Amino acid sequence: MIVKEDIVIRVAGESGDGSSATGEMLAQAAARSGLHVFTFRTTPAEIKGGPVMFQVRASNSPVRSMGDAVDILFAFNREAWDLHHADLAPNAVLLYDPEDFSLPSEFTGVAYPVPIGKIAQETGNRRGKNVVALGVVAALFGLGLTKLEDIVRAKLGKKVDLLETNLAALRAGIEYAHQLEKRDSFWMEATAEHECYAMTGNQAIIAGALHAGVEFFAGYPITPASDIMEGMAAILPQIGGGYLQAEDEIAAIMACIGASYGGKRAMTATSGPGLSLMSEAIGYASMTEIPVVIVDAQRGGPSTGLPTKMEQSDLNIALHGGHGDSPRIVLAPASVAECFHLTVWAFNLAEQYQSPVIVLSDYSLSFRTETVEPFDLSKYPRINRLRPNRALAPKQYRRYELTANLISPMVTPGVAYAQYTATGLEHNEFGNPDYTPLNHMRMTEKRWGKLAPLLHSREYVRRFGAERAKVGIICWGTTAGPCRGAVYLAGQEDVPVAMLQVQMLSPLPVDAIREFLDQVEIVLVPEVNFQGQFAKLLQAELGITVYSMTKYAGMPFSRLEILRQIHALAGLTEPTLA
């Protein structure tokens, strides 16, 4: 029997009605009160607007996915009900504005009519219905009630004349909730306060880059990566760094490569369409062995695709995008905390191995808020690129020297006797064009061979669950969250399941994966794309048979979707919920 330990609240409405802000402030208040939170949102892709929703999952235990079914739905309008009622749990609660629509006859659960528009009007703040809704939800269900005023002051306090009316709307919502007869059993209050941050994935990437010592950022606006560019624009110039909003993605990455050639730690951020445009430049960085970090916040594709939906469908282009044999390192965080962690190591790996490094985030991770424990910054050293260890004599500097570990000393322009050309043409150790077969073989083997230690690394895999199991999950990116949740739920049922999260997708850490394969009988590979790209990668690299589980609706997996597949592969009946 699976025991419920969380609460899932979804606020849904229309662009501009403040419903997303209600969810956002609720999550912040819950996090400040000591609860663990995990959020998910959807927004329209077009300027004209459309339906939006913001979902908050909260618990006194860590939460790693958006939840399974919706416990509480606050529908700001009839369309919100129409779009979201299918996701309600059997014992769900509905909050709705009776002045906007009537209680649907098909709903049989507990319903609370809340005239948020009327209450807001009575407080003198006709646009404050979302703040009224915030007070009602927190008072009815306990999330962050004691922290609400602090959150409203922080979020809505820039205009002093409006702050008091917003606080009045909040208090009116709380008062209205206290007058209601509570007829449901949902309540989630923090059992203890603890120090934590409530951050989005994009914010954690910015923080990680700053800690890693980023000195230059160039980018071009694109959803869902624009927040990173905007954050860098606000911060980097203030700390002596360089920032450029380029005319397109090609100019952005070439500017970053140029800055890195000049000795600066450089980074850009984009999404799938931009990564496509950058593919030739990534090959150039690979050929010239210039460090650069590229964040790809994936969205649904192809082409313009689904700008405001998530997908894990950029794996193939991240691994193989570009002509010729162009090695690169590819990392994939699964959580907000890992966005910080892997961004720091993206810079370190780029500098150490003189290679482009791609960090694969996605839409859901970019914008979701998670509770994050304070980072121990002492665990994140800064690794610098290899420099010559002696003075250079004329015509002796070999930029692409075939050293023992195949990593060559790199200088910045202006060092005496160290001039070289960073050409995209095949070159010899001195950087001079050389098209002979033997030289091309040596340089190709150098570019790939310097990354060989990562094939045997165990630093970029995470192991969870049973030591040995019939079913083992291998996953990457944000799908690791619901997979960990499914492993936890299976443990409540005494069903052993093993899990391996792969954080480095290129070079693939084959030694660690083979060890895992020896401990399981059936391998399940869930991922949010149509082709089963990671499953095919594992089959190609390791010659194994896996069960590919794909989803391509623009939404992440839930724990129960994964758990049901585990049951099916293990020959068990459907999981039983409490």
Percent of the chain residues past pLDDT 70, beyond the cut: 99
Domain ranges (residues) in the chain: 6-179, 200-379, 386-450, 461-570
**What is the pTM for the complete model shown?**
0.95
Q: Return the CATH number of 461-570, one of 3.40.605.10, 3.40.50.920, 3.30.1280.10, 3.90.1150.10.
A: 3.40.50.920
Per-residue pLDDT tens digits for 270-282:
999 999 999 999 9
Residue 503 has pLDDT above 70, yes or no: yes
Residue-level pLDDT at 574: 87
19 and 86 Cβ atoms separated by less than 8 Å: no
User: Percent of the chain having pLDDT more than 90?
Assistant: 89
Q: Are strands 329-331 and 504-506 parallel, antiparallel or unpaired?
A: antiparallel
What letter does residue 87 receive in the DSSP assignment?
Answer: G
Which is nearest to 144 in space by CA: 33, 21, 68? 33
Mean pLDDT of 125-151: 92
Q: Is the pLDDT score of 14 beyond 90? A: yes
Token code pair at residue 167: 């606080």
The domains spanning 6-179 and 461-570 adopt the same CATH topology:
no
CATH fold group of domain 6-179: Pyruvate-ferredoxin Oxidoreductase; domain 3 (3.40.920)
Q: How is residue 241 written in tokens?
A: 């760094």
* 196-245 confidence digits (pLDDT tens): 889 999 999 999 999 999 999 999 999 999 999 999 999 999 999 999 99
Tens-digit pLDDT profile for residues 459-485: 999 999 999 999 999 999 999 999 999
185 CB-near residues (< 8 Å, 6+ apart): 91
Whether the ω angle into residue 302 lies within 30 degrees of 0, i.e. cis, is: yes
d(CA 72, CA 80): 13
Q: Is the dihedral of CA 269, 271, 272, 277 positive or negative?
A: negative
Helices and strands, counts by H and E, the chain: 19, 20
Q: Which CATH class is domain 200-379?
A: alpha beta
- pLDDT at res. 578: 61
pLDDT in tens, 511-568: 999 999 999 999 999 999 999 999 999 999 999 999 999 999 999 999 999 999 999 9
Closest Cα partner for 304 from 45, 42, 43, 44? 45
What number is the average pLDDT over the span 31-44? 93
* Those residues with Cβ within 8 angstroms of residue 63's Cβ, 6 or more apart along the chain or in another chain: 6, 36, 37, 38, 57, 371
Indicate if the pLDDT at residue 159 is higher than 90.
no
Write down the mean pLDDT value for the chain: 95
pLDDT at 115 over 70: yes
